[in-house]
């Protein structure tokens, strides 16, 4: 059981710890999925993990002093739910072998005792003044730095405006279909990775 501190700070500390446990359980879930262990049963835990994650995100993004009591209750529920997921996933892990399950138990035990395996989630607000909210634009993070001259041609050919934030980030504005086409072409031309099929275009 994780020790408690009082108040909003205590809740944030506790949710930070629970988030670490969540990550460890998530890794175990992913590994069991990859190994195709008890597939039907294990897959039913995707929903449980998602619901726990929603509550973690909720507490993280709402440091709301007037709702401390309510959040306190929810954190206790969350602790109980994670405990149940742990029990069930570990018993699925036992069907791989005992050492495998023991390895995961040790890992989860370590994070329960406070070892930070994953960076704490930060919900970084992103708001760009002047970036018109009601007009089409896409911001692209490029796989490699690019020179302005390289995209000038696309800009003219596809009728879009391309704005450089820095050599790795561009904003493409214009009609939706043209923006998507331009972004796709620029991505391919700056990437070694060929595009994949599947989605309708």
Partner 1 sequence: MKRQGVLIIGGGIAGIQAALDVAEQGVNVYLVEREPSIGGHMAMLDKTFPTLDCSACILTPKMVEVARHPNIGLLTYSELREVKRVEKGFEVKILKKPRFVDETKCTGCGICAQHCPLEVPNEFDMGLGVRKAIYVPFPQAVPLKYTIDDEHCIQCGLCQRVCKAEAVNLDQRPEVISLTVGAIIVATGFKIFDAKKRSEYGYGRYLNVITSLELERLINASGPTGGRVLRLSDGRIPRRVAFIQCVGSRDQRAWGHHYTGNPYCSRVCCMYAIKNGVLLKEHIHDIDVTIFYMDIRTIGKGSEEFYQRAREEFNVHFVRGRVAKVIEIPETKNLLVRTEDTETGKAIEREFDMLVLSVGLMPSSGIFELSKILDIPIDEHGFPQGAHVETDRFTTGGKGIFVVGAAQGPKDIPDSVIDASAAAMKAAISLARVKE
- The least CB distance from residue 196 to partner 1, in Å, is 4
- The number of helix segments (H) and strand segments (E) in the chain equals 6, 3
Selection from 120, 83, 76 nearest residue 105 by Cα: 83
Interior angle at CA 72, CA 67 and CA 78, nearest 5: 125
Euclidean distance between the first and the last CA atom of the chain, given in angstroms as a whole number: 50
- The least CB distance from residue 108 to partner 1, in Å, is 16
Q: Provide the mask over 36-75, with x wherever binding to partner 1 is found by CB under 8 A and - wherever it is not.
A: -------xx-xx-xxx-xxx-xx-xxxxx-xx--xx--x-
Q: Does 122 bind partner 1 (CB under 8 A)?
A: no
- In a 3-state reduction of DSSP, which class is residue 96? coil
List of residues contacting partner 1 (CB under 8 A): 23, 26-27, 29-31, 33-34, 43-44, 46-47, 49-51, 53-55, 57-58, 60-64, 66-67, 70-71, 74, 121, 123, 125-130, 132-134, 137-143, 176, 180, 183-184, 187, 191, 193, 195-201
């Amino acid at each position: 059981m994780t020790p408690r501190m009082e108040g909003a700070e205590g809740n944030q500390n506790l949710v930070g710890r629970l988030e670490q446990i969540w990550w460890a359980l998530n890794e175990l879930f992913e590994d069991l999925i990859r190994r195709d262990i008890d597939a039907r049963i294990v897959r039913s835990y995707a929903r449980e993990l998602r619901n726990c994650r929603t509550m973690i995100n909720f507490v993280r993004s709402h440091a709301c002093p007037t709702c401390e009591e309510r959040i306190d209750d929810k954190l206790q529920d969350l602790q109980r739910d994670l405990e149940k997921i742990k029990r069930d996933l570990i018993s699925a892990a036992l069907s791989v072998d005992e050492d495998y399950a023991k390895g995961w138990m040790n890992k989860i035990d370590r994070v329960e005792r406070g070892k930070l395996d994953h960076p704490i989630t930060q919900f970084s607000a992103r708001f760009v003044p002047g970036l018109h909210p009601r007009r089409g634009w896409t911001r692209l993070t490029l796989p490699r730095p690019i020179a302005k001259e390289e995209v000038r041609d696309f800009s003219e050919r596809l009728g879009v405006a391309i704005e450089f934030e820095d050599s790795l980030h561009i904003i493409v504005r214009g009609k939706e279909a043209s923006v998507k086409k331009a972004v796709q072409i620029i991505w391919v031309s700056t990437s070694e990775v060929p595009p994949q099929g599947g989605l309708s275009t």
